[in-house]
């Protein structure tokens, strides 16, 4: 990616609905250049989709938590398969250090969150878990 590609990604990260014409105008390049760059960014896997970011108003009424798991390594594939079936699990990433997996969870109530945490902790191969409930978002630069 060169500077133009990074600028395109930055602008689309702020507003995924921005038109090709608007991108071209803001970046002072031809519309056809933007279109070609977008096609290349998409085909190379740099851009895999266009979406919206929910603000705090949309997140109200949802409890969010990070769950840190230590797991038996031979059980990782089975655990990930089971996690995919839990709709409240938004993201699962492997980590370095003391924990093996970091999960991001969203639930509508404390009861649902508690049930999800119990379900995860009961999975075969989960050795330990630590849950961190999100309180207030102070900074969010995620695209």
Per residue in 16-37, pLDDT tens? 899 999 999 999 999 999 999 9
User: Smallest Cα–Cα separation from 30: which of 20, 39, 40?
Assistant: 20
3-state secondary structure of 75: helix
Q: Return the CATH class of domain 3-43.
A: mainly alpha
List the chain domain ranges: 3-43, 56-133
pLDDT in tens, 42-61: 999 999 988 776 666 665 66
The CATH code of the domain at 56-133 is 3.30.70.920
**How far apart, in whole angstroms, are the C-alpha atoms of residue 62 and residue 59?**
6
Supply 14's token pair.
């702020």
Cβ within 8 Å of residue 97, ≥6 positions away? none
Whole-prediction pTM: 0.65
Residue 37's Cβ-count burial label (10 Å; 0-12, 13-18, 19+) is buried
């Amino acid at each position: 990616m060169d500077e133009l590609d990074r600028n395109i990604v930055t602008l689309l990260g702020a507003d995924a609905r921005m038109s090709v014409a608007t991108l071209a105008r803001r970046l002072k390049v031809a519309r056809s250049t933007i279109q070609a760059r977008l096609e290349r960014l998409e085909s190379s896997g740099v851009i895999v989709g266009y979406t919206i970011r929910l603000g705090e108003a949309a997140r109200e009424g949802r409890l969010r938590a990070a769950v840190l798991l230590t797991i038996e390594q031979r059980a990782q594939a089975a655990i990930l398969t089971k996690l995919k079936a839990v709709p409240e699990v938004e993201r699962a990433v492997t980590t370095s250090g003391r924990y093996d997996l970091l999960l991001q969870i969203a639930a509508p109530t404390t009861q649902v969150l508690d049930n999800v945490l119990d379900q995860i902790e009961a999975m075969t191969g989960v050795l330990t878990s630590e849950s961190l409930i999100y309180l207030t978002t102070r900074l969010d630069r995620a695209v």
